Amino acid sequence: MVIGCLAGPPFVGRKRELFIQTRGNNCMAKKIEVYSMKTCPHCIQAKGLLQSRGVAFEEILIGMNDNAAWDMLYKKSGGMKTVPQIYCDGKILGGFPELSALDKTDGLASLK
Ligand SMILES: N[C@@H](CCC(=O)N[C@@H](CS)C(=O)NCC(=O)O)C(=O)O
């Protein structure tokens, strides 16, 4: 089901403009999650790239010794043992190299 599509109702006039400003050109914004560690340089690079392209994301910090979180990420990602782990609408995109490759392809437009 599509709610709030730009082509017509339910958004008209000013409300429609605000919807466009906050949601971009898609009907629904993508949900980007970045699992990271505080001092991880690859995480800092990934977050910087997302920010520079205007991609909104949620950061989930994990601790180096938080075994439960690492186990969860290993399963969630399908086998990744490092951070950053970047997810788009719940699907693994990868780490910084994959993000960087996507940036070269579309400037991260597909994540908005
Ligand atoms: N290819 C990865 C490498 C990331 C990486 O090496 N991350 C380190 C932290 S800076 C890590 O997760 N280390 C945990 C480990 O190796 O167990 C990327 O850049 O996304």
- Which pLDDT tens digit goes with each residue over 45-68? 999 999 999 999 999 999 999 999
Higher per-residue confidence, 105 vs 27: 105
Which domains are assigned to the chain?
1-27 (no CATH), 31-111 (3.40.30.10)
Beta pairing, strands 85-88 & 32-36: antiparallel
E-only strand ranges, 7-104: 32-36, 58-61, 85-88, 91-94
Decide whether any atom of ligand 1 lies within 6 Å of the 87 Cβ: no
The pTM of the whole model exceeds 0.85? no
What are the structure tokens assigned to 75, written together? 């399963």
Residue 8's pLDDT is: 42
Give the chain's largest Cα–Cα span. Answer: 52
- Rounded distance between C-alpha atoms, residue 16 and residue 14, angstroms: 5
Ligand 1 pocket mutation, candidates 38, 74, 77, 83, criterion most atoms within 8 A of CB: 83
Residue 28's pLDDT is: 82
**Rounded to the nearest whole angstrom, what is the distance from the C-alpha of residue 36 to the centroid of ligand 1?**
9
pLDDT band at 16 (very low <50, low <70, confident <90, very high): low
Report the side by side order of strands in the sheet with 85-88: 58-61, 32-36, 85-88, 91-94
Which residue puts its alpha carbon closest to atom 12 of ligand 1?
A: 82
Q: Please say if the pLDDT value at position 72 is more than 80.
A: yes
Q: Tell me: the pLDDT tens digits for 73-95?
A: 999 999 999 999 999 999 999 99
Which residue puts its alpha carbon closest to atom 14 of ligand 1?
A: 82
Helix 41-52, helix 96-106: angle, nearest 10: 20
Which residue puts its alpha carbon closest to atom 20 of ligand 1?
A: 95
Decide whether any atom of ligand 1 lies within 6 Å of the 100 Cβ: no
Phi/psi for 64 (5° steps) reads -55, -35
Give percent above pLDDT 90 in the chain.
Answer: 75
Higher per-residue confidence, 17 vs 31: 31
Residue 6's pLDDT is: 44
